[in-house]
Amino acid sequence: MKTIEICDVTLRDGAQGEGISFSEEDKLGIATVLARLGVGMIEAGAPGMNARDASLFEKLASLPCFPAVSAFGQTRRAGMKAGEDPALRALLDSGARSLTVYGKSHPLHAEKILRVTREENLSMIRESVAFLKKAGRRVLFDAEHFFDGYKADPAYALASLEAAAEAGADVLVLCDTNGGNFPGEIGKTVGAVCAAFPGKSIGIHCHNDMGLAVACTLVAVKAGAVHVQGSFTGFGERCGNTSLCQLIPSLQLKLGYACILPEEMPRLALAARYVADVSNTTLPSNTPYVGESAFAHKAGTHVDAMLKLPGAYEHIDPEAVGNERRAIASELAGRAAVYEKIRRVFPEIERRSPEVDLVLGEIKRLERNGWQYESAEASLELLIRRSLNRIPRFYRLEFFDVTDNYPFSEGTTGCLATVKIFVGEKAALESAEGDGPVHALDMALRKCLTSFYPAITGVRLVDYKVRVITPNEATAARVRVLMNSTDGVRTWTTVGTSRDIIRASWKALVDSMEYFLIGRGISGPGE
């Protein structure tokens, strides 16, 4: 297999994405996960531009992945010797064995932004690379705006690469900095550069401003690029960078290039979700390969075909990237999808069993009233159990009451919930304040349940969403509430629907608690 060096820029270019803010611990965690996958290089930051990055490199030195970590910086300043430039000195002081220095390949940018002559810009590139190479480091030259510069003045764009190559640059990285080039243009230009620099490693760095970063990168590799840069889940400046969690499996599983450790490919989806969680972003469910919906099947004909011939509507085995096949149960999905869900809970039930029709009928009835189970797998499992009368009776609700007062005094929440339940013959009555009615209900229910089911203390809500189902009915509209909960190991989603947002929230909250108890193997009151 031909090897492609993967350079992950999540911690540097990715950190420039809007709303992204990494702590040092976040960066160390992401670097460790990427290193375990076998990512060849991790661009950890710019120590000459950010004092916090300088501290990070000291800690990275103790990690096994440190030899693969790269520091990022710019060419020397105009009118200054390379050895006297503090930014270049900071690159060396970082201790990183690989150093990436970027410079201008577009003559207009050199003249209008750096305000230097074309010749001086080439000298800045040449002298910066030579200075870093003299220190015994591996040096990558990022040719900024290369593709746009090549369109404007091919000879000068190539001259910028020549300056870096003459000074000893190990990799010449061609950057589509504005993300405005089509795959055909990228492929043609990369091919021309590879022909002009035979034997030199050529890299590619694409931005996603037209939604084509992955496509452009794939074309660049086919044209001869052997070094690829991108952020792991695609976030970064403006519209982001090449998404490596999408690119890597396309290169390795479909085109036969070696990118990461083969035995780690089944951890790709888990790594993508980890990076998304740490960066406080949402991994879109339709993200190719690693998204929750990447192998989800809803149409009845599709699900039926998948049961007969696994892979009939999938381009790869989902397990190859650590994902899973999902049959979405809905009124559109039909009997096959419902059966697939039922047999995961009760494998002894046969496909032609009347229980399947019973559950399907209940799903259709509820969906006509605004319920939806596509994103609420936990509530769907509970629906199956309830429809088939196979669910423990953990407790019985006597009543709940919620009050929200205004005005309220400083330091109080203003919301109070009271809940009374029976667990077997024993009653529990508790009240709790909360930051809003749903929070208060959550706290009161937990207080009631904790004495009977102590494990409940480990459950917490991580997300809460409200969708208006019938907006034409204004304030009388029916709403759907989705809750994401976790016990620190598993995460699950439950749903509730009502014209009353508090009642809808209560239904989702009850499902969340019951799903957790079933998952813990608890089968009776107060067990």
The predicted model gives 82-88 an average pLDDT of: 96
Q: Percent of the chain having pLDDT more than 90?
A: 68
Output the DSSP codes for 488-518.
SS-EEEEEEEESSHHHHHHHHHHHHHHHHHH
Kindly tell me the sign of the dihedral angle through the C-alpha atoms of 79, 84, 85, 88: positive
Residue 423's pLDDT is what? Answer: 92
CA distances from 336 to 297, 301, 505 (A): 11, 8, 30
The predicted model gives 32-57 an average pLDDT of: 89
Q: What string of H, E and C letters represents the secondary structure of 74-138?
A: ECCCCCCCHHHCHHHHHHHHCCCCEEEEEEECCHHHHHHCCCCCHHHHHHHHHHHHHHHHHCCCE
Q: Which amino acid is at 47?
A: P
Residue 281's pLDDT is what? Answer: 87
Does residue 330 carry a pLDDT above 70?
A: no
> Minimum mean pLDDT among 24-33, 317-326, 405-414, 471-480: which range?
405-414
User: pLDDT tens across 89-119, in order?
Assistant: 999 999 999 999 999 999 999 999 999 999 9
Task: Return the structure tokens found at 297.
Answer: 């099947």
Residue 306's pLDDT is what? Answer: 78
Residue 408's pLDDT is what? Answer: 63
> Minimum mean pLDDT among 59-68, 264-273, 416-425, 492-501: which range?
59-68
The predicted model gives 432-445 an average pLDDT of: 92
The predicted model gives 301-313 an average pLDDT of: 82
Residue 478's pLDDT is what? Answer: 86
Does residue 132 carry a pLDDT above 90?
A: yes
Task: Return the structure tokens found at 290.
Answer: 């690693």
Does residue 331 carry a pLDDT above 60?
A: no
Mean pLDDT of the chain: 91
The predicted model gives 379-400 an average pLDDT of: 91
Residue 339's pLDDT is what? Answer: 81
Q: Which amino acid is at 192?
A: A
Residue 46's pLDDT is what? Answer: 93
Does residue 342 carry a pLDDT above 90?
A: no
Residue 448's pLDDT is what? Answer: 94
Residue 527's pLDDT is what? Answer: 58
d(CA 84, CA 99): 17
> In this structure, are strands 257-258 and 41-45 parallel, antiparallel, or unpaired?
unpaired
Q: Which contacts qualify for 190-199: CB closer than 8 Å, 24 or more apart?
A: 190/219, 190/220, 190/223, 190/224, 190/225, 191/223, 191/224, 193/158, 193/161, 193/224, 194/223, 194/224, 194/225, 196/158, 196/161, 197/161, 197/165, 197/172
Residue 334's pLDDT is what? Answer: 62
Domains of the chain: 8-278 (3.20.20.70), 296-368 (no CATH), 395-452 (3.30.160)
Give the HSE-up count for residue 346: Cα atoms under 13 Å, Cβ half-sphere. Answer: 21
Does residue 50 carry a pLDDT above 80?
A: no
pLDDT tier at 145, thresholds 50, 70, 90: very high
Residue with the bigger pLDDT between 299 and 399: it is 399
Residue 85's pLDDT is what? Answer: 96
Residue 411's pLDDT is what? Answer: 58
Does residue 386 carry a pLDDT above 80?
A: yes
Listed ranges 335-339, 405-409, 432-436; the one with the highest mean pLDDT:
432-436
Q: Which amino acid is at 522?
A: I
The strand ranges marked E within 146-251 are 171-176, 201-206, 227-230
pLDDT tier at 333, thresholds 50, 70, 90: low
